[in-house]
A and B are shown apart, each in its own frame.
Chain A
Amino acid sequence: MLTAHWLYGLSGCLIMALGLRAVLLNDSLLQRIIALNVMGTGVFMILITIAYRGPDATPDPIPHALVLTGIVVAVSATALALTLIRRLTEEQDSD
């Protein structure tokens, strides 16, 4: 069980690092927004791993609550970013 736990946590770290790399190195706005979401998923995976307290114990509910809140925040932020990108493209098309 310990190995599965670690595998999950380390994948979270890896996903976060890949997301961060894509945010920093990409030029396209849309790709960067998606990369930020990927990075967020990595952080959420790490949080879920932290909640694990052993095969027989109930998981810690606080990290789960944090992930739920984090998802809501990420969805709103993505919505705002997409709206801005769309308005910007409309603006550039009309010019």
Chain B
Amino acid sequence: MIDILIWLVALPLAGALAALLLPRYATAIVISTAIATSISAAALLYAVATHGVMLYEIGGWPAGLGIALRADGLAALLLTMSALVLLASSIYAGAYFRENLLRSRFWPLWLLLWTALNALLLSGDLFNLYVTLELLGLSAVALASLAGKTAAMQAALRYLLVGLLGSMLFLAGVTLIYAGYGTLDMATLSRVVAAGPIAWSALALMTVGLLLKTALFPLHFWLPPAHASAPAPVSAVLSALVVKATFYLVMRLWLDIFSEVVIPQVASLLGILGAAAVLWGSWQALRAERLKLLAAYSTVAQLGYLFLFFPLLQALPAGAARDAAMGGLVILALSHGLAKSGLFLAIGIIQQRSGHDTIRDLDGTAQRLPATTFAIALSGTALIGLPPSGAFLGKWHLLSAAFSAGQWLWIIVIMIGTLLAAAYTFRVLGHAFGQQPYPRHPVTIAIEEWPALILTAFATIGLGLAGAPVWQLLKVSL
């Protein structure tokens, strides 16, 4: 059973090499790798739910010297969500790049990104995290530059510089940790870290590096151009997963390893930046003229919501209320990942069919592409946080945590953010309906339209109605 951990890294890596060596069969290789990796992810989720934390020491070397892979409930949940997003986007990308010569360059990078993502989520050691962060960043930049236009290349370069600076700051923090505690193993560190200048400066360096990569306001400047100029399946994965991976590390540092060391005022600062991100991102999304830019700014806003949880989790004492809020945070992150990737895929279909993604000229899209428009509506349901979406549960717990911690400011921010999200969703839908008659079959181009529908349906219906296991799984921790 424990071998699943190594498969989750080895399968996509082997697939990437095979796709590179046999470009003619790349599509078939990637789809079968995607299916196999997704099955492994589901098996890992099941194994963690039944057996608890999974651990694998590569080559039999114990943690500290060797590379340890670990999976707890949080890692398994994020890994499964990523697998679902990547599987659906792979199927979509097969159709998207059908007649495109970029395909042979796209597939190996795509699977390398998956490898890096899985390795990052499973890593139990701070230095391996640095290496996987760089791998993830480099493959993401290469994918974002694929469109080849000057704008895409400029955005990718800025993305690369920000990413490198972020990981360098992270590495500086890791260095301090090793100097102070003589270990990089995360499980050991969470026991030995003590409040003091070393822990504080290491946490500060690592957090600033990660926030730069997570695009928390005001460090979000690089995200909208990079996410909006990449090919549609790449945008989906960048917005849904790559920023989530660095957010996951911030969570690990703040809520796990350094939870005893964190100063409440600094957690409040993260919350304030999150609040600014919610307001600014939603406002910019409302003002965006292009669908892709709207989706990218909406990512800035949705990441802001996740940071609102930090001051609340800091204030709540360990117990049922804190566990409930923690589950809310995770389900909000999962729901955003599924909804946003579905939204980007749907936008990709519109862009390819009508040659543009200008919101004002969407007239009649609902008639030409009913299923895709429905996917956008489902995604909007999750972005606003309407029931029965997973985001509704997440925001519900965010609100109740804010009430029980007595931190009223966040409630106003959540309300304004939700209203703005409703406004930008309905603005798109309002433009999408036209006067033409509806076609007989709603799904007009099956292979391309299904992935977006399935992802957004999972976010709205799947997570909303069957979200309870998330709280169960989070109890399985290191």
> Hey, what's the 0/1 contact readout for A59-92 against B, CB within 8 Å counting as 1?
0001100100110010011001100110110011
> Looking across the interface, which residue of chain B has its beta carbon closest to that of A19?
B168
Could you tell me if B153 and A36 are in contact, using CB atoms closer than 8 angstroms? no
Residue among A39, A50, A85 making CB contact with B157, cutoff 8 Å: A85
> Looking across the interface, which residue of chain A has its beta carbon closest to that of B149?
A91
Could you tell me if A39 and B153 are in contact, using CB atoms closer than 8 angstroms? no
Residue among B65, B134, B172 making CB contact with A77, cutoff 8 Å: B134
* Chain A residues whose CB sits within 8 angstroms of the CB of B416 once the complex forms: none
Could you tell me if B157 and A88 are in contact, using CB atoms closer than 8 angstroms? yes
List B residues 112-129 near A (Cβ within 8 Å). Answer: 127
> Looking across the interface, which residue of chain A has its beta carbon closest to that of B64?
A62
Question: Given A63-B178, A69-B131, are A16 and B138 also a contact pair (CB < 8 Å)?
Answer: no
* Chain B residues whose CB sits within 8 angstroms of the CB of A20 once the complex forms: 165
Question: Given A88-B150, A88-B153, A91-B153, are A81 and B160 also a contact pair (CB < 8 Å)?
Answer: yes
Bound CA–CA A77/B133 (angstroms): 12
Interface presence of B17 (CB below 8 A): no
Interface presence of B111 (CB below 8 A): no
Interface presence of B418 (CB below 8 A): no
Bound CA–CA A70/B168 (angstroms): 10
Could you tell me if B142 and A80 are in contact, using CB atoms closer than 8 angstroms? yes
Residue among B134, B145, B157 making CB contact with A29, cutoff 8 Å: B157
B side interface size, CB within 8 A: 25
Could you tell me if A40 and B154 are in contact, using CB atoms closer than 8 angstroms? no
* Chain A residues whose CB sits within 8 angstroms of the CB of B137 once the complex forms: 77
Interface presence of A95 (CB below 8 A): yes
Bound CA–CA A36/B134 (angstroms): 14
Could you tell me if A47 and B175 are in contact, using CB atoms closer than 8 angstroms? yes
Could you tell me if B172 and A16 are in contact, using CB atoms closer than 8 angstroms? yes
Question: Given A23-B165, A36-B168, A43-B175, are A91 and B150 also a contact pair (CB < 8 Å)?
Answer: yes
Bound CA–CA A43/B167 (angstroms): 11
Interface presence of B156 (CB below 8 A): yes
Could you tell me if B168 and A73 are in contact, using CB atoms closer than 8 angstroms? no
* Chain A residues whose CB sits within 8 angstroms of the CB of B160 once the complex forms: 77, 80-81, 84
Question: Given A43-B175, A47-B175, A84-B145, are A36 and B161 also a contact pair (CB < 8 Å)?
Answer: yes
> Hey, what's the 0/1 contact readout for B162-178 against A, CB within 8 Å counting as 1?
00110010011001001
Question: Given A50-B179, A77-B138, A88-B153, are A66 and B165 also a contact pair (CB < 8 Å)?
Answer: no
Could you tell me if A43 and B172 are in contact, using CB atoms closer than 8 angstroms? yes
Could you tell me if A84 and B131 are in contact, using CB atoms closer than 8 angstroms? no
A-B contact pairs, 19 of them (CB 8 A): A20-B165, A29-B157, A36-B161, A36-B165, A36-B168, A40-B168, A40-B171, A43-B168, A43-B172, A46-B172, A50-B179, A66-B178, A77-B138, A77-B164, A80-B142, A84-B141, A84-B145, A84-B160, A88-B154
Q: Closest 6 CB pairs between A and B?
A: A50-B179, A73-B134, A88-B153, A91-B150, A84-B157, A43-B172
Residues on B lying within 8 angstroms of A by beta carbon are: 65, 127, 130-131, 134, 137-138, 141-142, 145, 150, 153-154, 156-157, 160-161, 164-165, 168, 171-172, 175, 178-179
